[in-house]
Structure 1
Amino acid sequence: STADGPCMVNVNILIRSISKISDLDMEYSVQLTFRQTWIDSRLKFDDMNGQIRYLVLTEPGKVWRPDLFFKNEKEGHFHNIILPNVLLRIHPNGDVLYSIRISLVLACPMDLKYYPLDKQVCQIEMASYGYTTEDLMFLWKEISPVQITTDLHLPRFTLEKYLTDYCTSTTNT
């Protein structure tokens, strides 16, 4: 923890696809592009009078990254076909963008008493693994926190709406 308070990480997601919604297993599969931005003053550099807009790090593991995980994840994997689908961009002022493409199978408890006219709320729950809010806070990006691909196709289902919310919990890992 620093005198400046917690590291503030802005988050937004692009939902690329939702598939395999299973009322039997009470889960769904989602593929998304997950983006996090934060400021790390240790990574500031000289932009050579505006000649360097940003640097792209080819080995993202070399810098500190937030330890976010998906609380309701049953399965997950990164995409590594040809090259890992990961981007870590550092701007001269220390702004960091970390973007990754991932596929998840997420638990979704369903209430089926009105089936087939039921409505389900399926969540994507995120949290820090080891930090408390004294050291690390996740915030939804103010503009477009959730983006949905224009060609989202859900057989047998309709995506009615989505919303973002916060819940703060204290954990001791």
Structure 2
Amino acid sequence: MEKYRTFWKRLLSAIIDSIIFIPFSYFGIKIEQINNKTILFCWLFLYACLIIFYSVYLNGRYGQTLGKKVMNIIVLDVSESKMIGFKHAFYRDATPFIFYLIGIFFVISTSINNPTYNIDQLNTQYDDFIFYATLVWVIIELLTMLTNPKRRAVHDILAQSVVVDLSR
């Protein structure tokens, strides 16, 4: 059905939502310049929480992040009769959040085991881990989304949700 053909709108929505976090990324660069590992670890955790809170709150409350609103798509429960709520919105974003937490744990343990590692090395390891974990996750998501009649990705299946194009 046409209303489930949301791939491009979902992609553009994700890009719009990413743009919103550019100021926070700039702040993260400033945090790195402080050259304090504890502050870096706290910042990485706070940044992960901000990203997840943004998505969980807006999808749970309104069924849309700002990017989804601009693209005129909405996240509904699988029956398409109501919003998904906060619990299911968290299920949608739990995997990336787990990646962030594993990445943070990884750089903390690397820092403990290799005290000579500097902030740049630790941040590079974190970024690399997040990049490759996300890449694998996106491939899995695309495979499920493109082979499912309602275009539900793994995170939609986990959250019992579906994304619907409001203009169709």
Using the size of structure 1 for normalisation, the TM-score is 0.25
User: Larger strand proportion, structure 1 or 2?
Assistant: 1
Q: Which has the larger radius of gyration?
A: 1
Higher helix share: 2
TM-score by length of 2: 0.25
